[in-house]
Amino acid sequence: MNIPDTLRYAASHEWARLDADGLVTVGITDHAQSQLGDIVFLELPAIGRSVAAGEECAVVESVKAASDIYAPIAGEIVRVNQAAVDNPELVNQDAYQHALFVLKPDNPADLDTLLTPAQYRAQLEAEA
Amino acid sequence: MLRQTPRQTPLFDDHRAAGARLTDFAGWAMPLHYGSQLEEHHAVRRHAGMFDVSHMLAIDVVGTDAEAYLRRLLANDVARLAAAGRALYSCLLDPHGGVLDDVIAYRLDASAPPARFRVVVNAGRADADLDWMQRQATGFALELHPRRDLAMIALQGPAARALADGLWPELAPALAGLARFGALEADAMLVARTGYTGEDGYEIMLPGATAPMLWQRLRDAGVRPCGLGARDTLRLEAGMNLYGQDMDANVTPAECGLSWTVAFTPGRDFIGRAALESKPPNRQQLGLVLLDRGVLRAHQRVLCAQGEGETTSGGFAPTLNGSIALARLPLGVVPGDTVRVQVRDKSLAARVVRPPFVRHGKVLV
């Protein structure tokens, strides 16, 4: 299982990373992309939108199904990954390299409420 | 609910060794894909792919009344099969004209008694079909033989037939003369020029014990193993129905685009005929091509000038690099119309077309 040590995780299979500029980058985990199969369409949130923790804010559609993506923590959307919108298969190729969006957190400490790599790994093992 | 262990086809070990992602389909553990469903789809459109479809059931119908029985049982007319080695596609109807299953019926022996036919049915309907067929057999001199001993491999794609020639040089001359919906019986094997992808190719029935060897030889010849995921996107592009999704006992053949498969031969009293003749269809099946960005899925509402309809199958179509659907629509909607499809919280525009969307690698819509 590919679960980088440097990230935090939501139980709904998103990852989040606090960047040096204080913004938080969000994507889906390698496990999520593998479960979804070939990704063919991304619908990402509007820039400037405020999202609450756990709020539905994007959709990833694969050949198999549509899957809702939830904001791991509260904040305001400041960027989306247009390259991944144009080529959704990038997310299959490397789900950690190709994030979905970047948000400005209401409170950077909220990141601590997310799962640690060890906790996320334990969740996947329990689900398997 | 009691969950039973999924059944395994004779190729199960090969799938697992190849790293297939397995899925439970109609009680069978079947490959969903072997890594990339998209690449498998393209392999079939551009070269050759193969599918394990051993979960489908072949039922042999043997006896002097076999033809009379099938002319009663099936909505298409096996009397149209002029010679041994000819096949046709048909619906199996209930007395109300509802579709119980869709099948392919093969005539295996022309006239030499006892007559012998083979009917291949869907995995999810196999038990119900067999029960139905047994009950309809009363009074006919015949036997039904479910052939669970057989495996089935679908070899599909523009290069499929040439690859088969290389594999079976001794059969190549006979295979070269095989028309569409023709079939060749050779030893314990039946090679039929049929499929569910919109590409040329064969469906091969053979003893389960010999299937892994053929599978391996095909792999060595460059044929890509493909899972049920690619099978679904290929058949959707080809405009072919999936039983249980695009049709079931609540619709008649005319309501799911299959009028062409019903043979109203004068004097032939097939099951469901009276019902079909007494009630005209009030819906029709057509295709949709999504004009806006997004992905159509099954069971989405379709708003047309003539009223409301519903998608029955939908998804991403790799050959079109867009999204398509099959939909049950009000009468009066015609190809070229623009309709709206409710996709979650959005209303998206789609163009109505007559399927198929793709045939022999070419986009037709």
DSSP B58-104: EEEEESTTHHHHHHHHBSS-GGG--STTEEEEEEEE-TTS-EEEEEE
Number of domains within chain A: 1
Query: For residue A70, is it within any domain?
Result: yes
DSSP B115-181: PEEEEEE-GGGHHHHHHHHHHHTTTS--EEEE-TTEEEEEEESTTHHHHHHHH-TTTHHHHHTPPTT
Same fold, B1-280 and B282-363: no
* Beta-carbon separation of A65 and B297 below 8 A: yes
Scanning A31-50 for CB atoms below 8 A from B yields: 37-38, 40-41, 43
**What is the pLDDT at residue B321?**
95
A14-38: pLDDT as tens digits: 999 999 999 999 999 999 999 999 9
Residue B321: CB atoms within 10 Å: 9
> Chain B residue closest to A35 (CA)?
B21
What are the C-alpha distances in Å from B99 to residues B61, B90, B134? Answer: 21, 10, 17
Angstrom distance (rounded) from CA A117 to CA B11? 38
> What architecture is domain B282-363?
Beta Barrel (2.40)
Angstrom distance (rounded) from CA B70 to CA B60? 11
Residue from the list A63, A89, A92 with its beta carbon closest to the beta carbon of B233: A63
> Chain B residue closest to A85 (CA)?
B293
Query: For residue A128, is it within any domain?
Result: no
Is the pLDDT confidence value at B242 over 80? yes
Query: For residue A84, is it within any domain?
Result: yes
SS3 assignment, position B3? coil
* Nearest C-alpha neighbor of B205 from the set B59, B33, B6: B59
* Nearest C-alpha neighbor of B181 from the set B116, B89, B266, B98: B89
Judge if ipTM > 0.85.
yes
* Beta-carbon separation of A41 and B33 below 8 A: no
**What is the pLDDT at residue A128?**
82
Is the pLDDT confidence value at B2 over 70? no
Query: For residue A68, is it within any domain?
Result: yes
- Is residue A123 within 8 A of residue A117, CB to CB? The reply is no
Q: Quote the domain boundaries for residue A20.
A: 8-108
* pLDDT classification of B1: cutoffs 50, 70, 90: very low
Angstrom distance (rounded) from CA B349 to CA A67? 21
- Dihedral angle sign, alpha carbons of residues B40, B42, B46, B52: positive
Q: Where are the domains of chain B?
A: 1-280, 282-363
B39-48 mean pLDDT? 98
Scanning B217-236 for CB atoms below 8 A from A yields: 229, 233
**What is the pLDDT at residue A20?**
96
Burial class (CB within 10 angstroms; exposed 0-12, middle 13-18, buried 19+) of B213: exposed
Query: For residue A58, is it within any domain?
Result: yes
**What is the pLDDT at residue B110?**
57
Query: In percent, how much of chain B has pLDDT > 90?
Result: 95
* pLDDT classification of B4: cutoffs 50, 70, 90: confident
B81-111: pLDDT as tens digits: 989 999 999 999 999 999 999 999 999 985 5
Scanning B285-304 for CB atoms below 8 A from A yields: 293-295, 297
- Is residue A44 within 8 A of residue A80, CB to CB? The reply is yes
Which residues on B lie below 8 Å from A63 (Cβ)?
37-38, 229, 233, 315-316, 318
Residue from the list B37, B295, B344 with its beta carbon closest to the beta carbon of A41: B295
B300-353: pLDDT as tens digits: 999 999 999 999 999 999 999 999 999 999 999 999 999 999 999 999 999 999
Residue B87, token pair as written in the block: 């096949």
- Is residue B325 within 8 A of residue B288, CB to CB? The reply is yes
Which residues on A lie below 8 Å from B37 (Cβ)?
37-38, 63-64
Which residues on B lie below 8 Å from A86 (Cβ)?
none
- Is residue A28 within 8 A of residue A15, CB to CB? The reply is yes
B51-76: pLDDT as tens digits: 999 999 999 999 999 999 999 999 99
A55-78 mean pLDDT? 96
Which residues on B lie below 8 Å from A40 (Cβ)?
38, 295, 316
Q: Which fold has domain B1-280?
A: Gyrase A; domain 2 (3.30.1360)
Which residues on B lie below 8 Å from A43 (Cβ)?
293-294
Residue A89 belongs to domain with CATH number: 2.40.50.100
Cis peptide before B158 (omega within 30 of 0): no
**What is the pLDDT at residue A1?**
84
B257-278: pLDDT as tens digits: 999 999 999 999 999 999 999 9
Is this model's pTM higher than 0.80 or not? yes
Which residues on B lie below 8 Å from A37 (Cβ)?
21, 32-33, 36-37, 229
Residues forming a β-bridge with B301: B310
